[in-house]
A and B are shown apart, each in its own frame.
Chain A
Amino acid sequence: MTEFIFVTKKDFSIRAQEVVRELDKKAYLLLRVGVVGPYFPHRDSYPFVRIVSEDGAVESLMAEVSTDQKELRGYFPTDAKLTGRVEFGYASQVLGSILIRGIEATKLDSRRIEADVQRIKLRDLGPFKRSR
């Protein structure tokens, strides 16, 4: 199914926070970068979020549209730098590119995180390395 959205750049904003994400019954600590917009359709084409800076591009480890379809979420290693721009879209179609300015990730209190949660880092992608 193909759907199109017609928006302007000012319709979008970004936010970032650490989250624990369960995958295949294991828990991982990831950095979630969300592009908040008016509406993101569920398309057959896969969505993407990437951080583009002078150092290059960091692709999200996975991406998905939120339940309410108002946020496109990319999941990154927790030490990914929030500098440059966030690009997002579906397949090869870039829907937008937003300058990262004054945005800091909301961190979880590491003392309260359960012991069996695996923190994902750029140099230790854990099981996500398989999808690189």
Chain B
Amino acid sequence: MALQLLIEGKVVGSENNGVLAGIMVRAFIGRTTRPAASSVTNGLGIFTLIIDAVRNAVLSSGATLKFGLYLPESKTSFHRTAPVRLNRLTRDGVTIAVPDAALASAFSKPRLTLLADGLSAKEIEVGQSLSIAGSQFRPTTTHGVRLSLDGKSVGALSLTTDQFGTFLPTVIVPQLGLGAFNSGEAYTLKQGIKTFGRRRLVVEVLHRDKVAAKSKIVISHQSSQPLGFVSDPEGRVQNAIQYDRDSLHLTFANLPKASLARVFLVRRQRDWNLDDPITPVLDRKGRPLVIDIEQTERQQTVTLTKMGQVLPGAYDIIVRPVRYGFEEDEESVLLPRDVVIGRNITGLVVQENFWLAKAVLGGCVNVFPISGASVSERPYFQYRDTFVVGENVWAALDPGIVMPGQFGRKVAFYVIQSKTPAQWGASTSLTHVPPIQPVEVTVQSGCINMNKALVWPAASPKGDYDIVADFGNNDPNPANFVKDGSYDTPLDMIDGYFSPGFRIVDDPGTMSEFPHAGAFNVDAPLLAGLGLGANLTVQDENGAYFPPGGFLATNQTWPRLAIVRFPADFAGATNASQISVAKPDYPLAVVVHGNGHNYTSYGFLLDHLARNGFVAMSIHIPNGRNGLGRANAFFDHLTTIKQIFGTKLQNNVGVLGHSRGAEAVFKIARLNNSLALGIGLKALVSLAPTDQYGDETITGAAAVPLFVLYGAKDGDVSGWPPYAGYNVRQSGFSLYDRYDDKDKSMAFVYNATHNGFVTANEASPAPLLTVADQQKVLLAYTNAFFRMQQRSEPEWAGMFTGEWKPPSVGATPAEIHFQYRDTQRRIVDNFEGAHTATSWQASTIGATVAQNGLPANPTEAQLYPQDNQSPQDTGGLRLAWDTIGDEVNFAIPPTQKDVSMFGALSVRVGQVVNSPSNPPGAQNFRLALRDGSGNERWIRVGAFGTVPQPADANVVGNKKSALATIRIPLSAYTIVCAGAVKVNLTDVTNVKLLFLDNAAGEISVDELEFTD
């Protein structure tokens, strides 16, 4: 047996305590020059050294240890610590603080690269974007970047290296030469070439005012690359236009030969790749914005639309040289010859009149997304709200959300512990958390890339944070800027306030609380040792049926088999007695699989749950068994597992069922209550459930918190058409709708399938999420839900309202939309009861409902079959609008007017599939509250949720008019600031649906309520 010494430590800079990653750490014993161990610091600056204690003679009391730090591939250390006696080391680990001089010597030869439109270059053309990339700079350090043109300074900004000393490619001059450096003056392409052609631009990266690296690039006096940009009528660059004021002009040059140029206006997207679908947006009148232009010159400026035609938003523009008759040029996908305007910069921002467009109308809280991540590819930034410990947090201001008067002024990004609205009311001061100072940028109008900064390298610790963009003294000259460390409306902007701006969390999809998972099988030998039989016999149904109890009971016998995982302190644990000693007892999680599935397929999930503190088991059920048999098998196995683990097992049970097993979890909840079984059932996860065994409807004392997970391209339980006597489309939607009296959540995962969450995707139209990505969804949400319900960890709640995604899921292309209903609520209207032509006019809360301007009265009905595409099993309100300003108005009776004890206004909404009224993409409208004094505020639902475009299904005809829940914090209606009307939440008289964002639409609405 080897005796080993384990040393953990961290390497930081002595000045700012910023972590140093990718550093080789070597340990030397006594005066030896041969290292006893070596390790490389990870993204958190942490290293682990394992030293053979005997061979290195570290057991004597006088043994000493010293550390040497090396850059990768270097044989010379840049820092050596003083010797430390081994017996002075503590359990807290070693922190090596590297002196400033040592850092200066180590990172004295950084590498700086200049890029033209993303490619390393020594020459750049006017209109291309200039980026920098760098490595071997001083890590976790803010650097200055200075730009000089022919020796004269023309600009400065600051950038922060990550913990590895790297600058990811970052645009520092978008559309170079199309604007003056020191003023807002814009140029035409010709003017830009005349002004800047043949001139030399020098980029210097400074650390403490000393040049750390320098590079230069020549501006070409020619224009040869295909180029396009939004401009004014004279061809001067203009990336943002105002909706109600400006026409849209486009300037392009050097396009490949063609008979005409076809221009597509499309939604802005993160990146463009060949074969990406091109879906033109619609103009104000619902016409696709595709415009053909005759190419007359090598460079020309054309008018695309008149003012007021392109709706406010951010867009990319694709210019296609179309050759006559060429089939490929008619394809609605991105082609190699296409020119994308919007890769390096925002292609086009159409702004509303700023003050009318604020998310909180008339309010001054200025809540906008700011936190995110820098992306190495175009367009270099992605908004995000959740980061795992050790990730880099970036901040950015999209020019489209900045008040026009603030361009050219400096702003400082503060990262602070998240505060509630009440705490903000008490104090507006900002206490910056990261080890580096608040980063300052000069706000530019042209591109988000100029307004972004790394604000927190290697972010830690876990917690909720806000980012405030502090305009400080708001001096028009950025050189005179002074930050004031205070969040002052209406000028400063915040990512936070109503809910945390971002979170730093352990990822429930990857976190591991216990180092090992023990494993054993429940099988005949083990059972014999327990004095139990090898088989079980349970009651089952004889088939599918609709009326509750409408089945013939059959007894079924099969082998009592299961796989079990449990938390363990060492690898290779195979006995329940080896369960971790870290805790006295553990909760239980059980998997009940579906028909045609195998209980051993869920080992990856059990391993994950065991490492997160659960005893986890998956039980065997043979093919052909129905719902009741599965529930009864669960009860049988519960007896077994209790006997195996004894007092180590809590009476605290979560169940995950899949397919028929997922319907069985509802039976488990019902029978546990009706038979008074006394099982401490705390959580139900229903994965892709069937709904074919007796119209299961769980309410009252039988209910426990529920989470339903369902793939939009489920090819097995597809939810269409009804069978076995049912009168609804049978799926997780219908089961979810009938469930009541406990918190419930449902995730509808686009492009996910029936089996893909576990084993393999069944045949379904592309695109499909990969199995690996679907498993990430399953691991993260199951672990978080069980931890939340069984281990009382409320921090995961936001995942189940759709507020945030864990990074392991966020990194996948999974699009997920949530329904959520809290037990604490006051229903305004749930559209239940007898449905008649006029029943919509009376609400659940006991008051009137009126419409104004709709082309026809709304219809209150069971959503299916009223809408043949609805998967829901609930009453709802179906309505269409055709004019901006149409509304539906729900009165609140005086006895119910005080809603101040609730946290949110909530509604379930879905687009009606196949309705010609809905534009492509998400639908939008506003929810308004009005009080007894006539104060009224409108909140755009898109600010807090999505009315998503319906998902593609396993077959075209099965597309679903699925509902998604939108929750608007009530504080959004009460913020006090200059000029804003405040709604008195103790005196609410009306709730309104206002249709101000799209000229037409058709939606279904349900569960309009005040809730927690």
Using an 8 Å CB-CB cutoff, how does the interface string of A11-23 with B read, 1 for contact, 0 for none?
0000000111110
A89-132 CB contact bits vs B (8 Å, 1 = yes)? 00000000000000000001100111001000000000000000
A41 CA / B327 CA spacing, docked (Å): 22
Interface centre among B324, B327, B331, B956, by most chain A C-beta atoms within 10 angstroms, is B327
- Among the listed A2, A20, A39, A67, which residue makes an inter-chain contact with B331, where contact means beta carbons less than 8 Å apart? A67
Q: Is B766 an interface residue (CB 8 A)?
A: yes
Query: Contacting B325 at CB < 8 Å: which of A2, A3, A69, A108?
Result: A108
**CB atoms of A22 and B326 under 8 A apart:** yes
A-chain residues with CB within 8 Å of residue B59 when the two chains form the complex: none
Q: Is the CB of B325 within 8 A of A41?
A: no
**Is there an interface contact between A113 and B765, defined as CB atoms closer than 8 Å?**
no
With A1-B763, A39-B765, A41-B765 already in contact, the answer to whether A114 and B327 are too (CB < 8 A) is no
Question: In chain B, residues 323-362, which have Cβ atoms closer than 8 Å to a Cβ of chain A?
Answer: 323-328, 331-333
Does residue B259 face the partner (Cβ distance < 8 Å to A)?
A: yes
Closest residue of chain B to A39, judged by CB?
B956
Measured between C-beta atoms, what is the minimum distance from B56 to chain A in Å?
58
Q: In the complex, are the beta carbons of A20 and B326 less than 8 A apart?
A: yes
Give residues 532-580 of B contacting A (CB, 8 Å). Answer: none
Determine if B957 is an interface residue (Cβ-Cβ < 8 Å).
yes
The answer to whether B956 touches A27 (Cβ under 8 A) is: no
- Interface contact B327-A19, CB-CB below 8 Å: yes
Would A112 and B259 count as touching, CB distance under 8 A? Answer: yes
Interface residue range, chain A: 20 to 34
Closest partner residue, chain A, to B761 (CB atom): A1
Which secondary structure dominates where chain A touches chain B?
A: loop
Task: Please determine whether A112 and B324 come into contact, CB atoms closer than 8 angstroms.
Answer: yes
**Which residue on chain B has the smallest CB distance to residue A18?**
B325
Q: Check if A38 sits within 8 Å of B956, measured CB to CB.
A: yes
A-side contacts of B332, CB under 8 Å: 67
Q: How many residues of B contact A (CB 8 A)?
A: 17
Q: Which residue of B lies closest to A69 (CB)?
A: B765
Are A20 and B323 touching (Cβ within 8 A)? yes
How many angstroms between the C-alpha atoms of A113 and B176 in the bound complex? 39
* Chain B residues near A1 (CB-CB < 8 A): 763
| Cβ B325 vs Cβ A29 within 8 A | yes
Residues of A contacting B955 in the complex (Cβ-Cβ under 8 angstroms): 39
Bound together, the chains give a CA A114 to CA B322 distance in angstroms of 12
Q: In the complex, which of the residues B325, B331, B766 has the most CB atoms of chain A within 10 Å of its own CB atom?
A: B325
- How far is it, in angstroms, between the C-alpha of A1 and the C-alpha of B715 when the chains are bound? 14
Distance of B277 from chain A, by nearest CB (Å):
8
Which residues in A have their C-beta under 8 angstroms from that of B323?
A: 20, 114
Give the distance in Å from the alpha carbon of A21 to the alpha carbon of B327 in the complex.
6
CB of B333, distance to nearest CB on chain A (Å): 6
Closest chain-A Cβ to B490's Cβ sits at a distance in Å of 47
The CA-CA distance from A112 to B326 in the complex, in Å, is: 11
B920 to chain A, nearest CB (A): 14
| A42 CB within 8 Å of chain B | yes
- Specify which of A38, A109, A113 is in contact with B957 (CB 8 Å cutoff): A38
Nearest chain B residue, comparing its CB with the CB of A6? B955
Question: Is the CB–CB distance between A19 and B331 below 8 Å?
Answer: no
Contact B957 A22 (CB under 8 A): no
**Interface members, chain A 12-51 (any B CB < 8 Å):** 18-22, 27, 29, 32, 38-39, 41-42
Residues of A within 8 A of B (CB): 1-3, 18-22, 27, 29, 32, 38-39, 41-42, 67, 69, 108-109, 112-114, 117
Q: List 5 A-B contacts (CB under 8 A).
A: A18-B325, A20-B326, A22-B328, A39-B765, A67-B332
Given contacts A38-B956, A39-B765, A67-B333, 10 further A-B contacts (CB under 8 A): A1-B763, A3-B763, A19-B327, A20-B325, A20-B327, A21-B326, A29-B325, A39-B956, A67-B332, A109-B324
Residues of B within 8 A of A (CB): 259, 277, 323-328, 331-333, 763, 765-766, 955-957
Q: What 7 A-B pairs are tightest by C-beta distance, nearest first?
A: A19-B327, A20-B325, A108-B325, A20-B326, A3-B763, A112-B324, A21-B327
